[in-house]
Chains A and B, each alone.
Chain A
Amino acid sequence: MSISIQTQDFNLADEMAYLEQDNAADGAVVTFTGRVRDNNLGLKVSGLYLEHYPGMTEKSLEKILETARSRWDIGRVRVIHRIGQLNLGEQIVFVGVTSKHRQDAFAAAEFIMDYLKVQAPFWKKELTEAGEKWLDARHSDTSKAQQWD
């Protein structure tokens, strides 16, 4: 289990290697990558600024990963979340989970992303054609996370 909060980009091949190397026990690897897109709520977006709460971020992610491990039979878990200034198309977040079979890897990866969205203390400020704006939380993210209760 490995968690990184970082300003620098990450390399998907390196992360796959972390999940797969010397890990013949797990037949399934599920990964998710979130990227900066160029549109939101009808406005053109030119980039993002990501803030977090150092200390609490790591703690809340550890708790989410422990919960995932208690609910599914999973092997390696890797979570990366970037902070600071991010441009269009750049990678923001990575979640990778291995397990013996695909069901547990799919479910755990989705659970981790859903919970990260509503519990980990990150905040996005969007740079749009209409200026800078802190994003409002989406109700759909809250209901999505509640589906796991």
Chain B
Amino acid sequence: MIKVVFFAALREQLNCAELEVNAGENTDSIAKIKQLLVEQNPQWQETFNNASLLSAVNHEMVDGSHPVKSGDEVAFFPPVTGG
């Protein structure tokens, strides 16, 4: 399994804080997970098309081509605004 978590404005837009997807060929990269989530939830398409969306794997910021395997924690979130 792969745990997927969402934060801030993205979490509110999706009305979802976290979910799980099965690990497999269709979830072995950030880009593929995004694609799967949109297939499962067509209403999320516009939100996930937002190019400024950031992603992390196991608490490290990564880009879309980054590999993902079973047991990883994947996060999607808007650009950060702390400080």
Contacts and interface: CB of A to CB of B under 8 A. Distances in A.
Interface of A: 34, 50-53, 55-56, 59-60, 81, 92-93, 113, 116-125, 134-138, 141
Nearest to A120: B82
A136 B59 contact: no
B60 A59 contact: yes
Nearest to A63: B60
A113 B83 CA distance: 7
Contacts of A113: 83
Nearest to A121: B80
Contacts, number: 74
Interface centre among A51, A56, A137 (most CB of B within 10 A): A56
Contacts of B79: 118, 136-137
Nearest to B82: A122
A134 B8 contact: yes
A124 B81 contact: yes
A81 B8 CA distance: 17
Given A56-B59, A56-B75, A120 B80 contact: yes
Given A121-B80, A123-B80, A136-B81, A55 B59 contact: yes
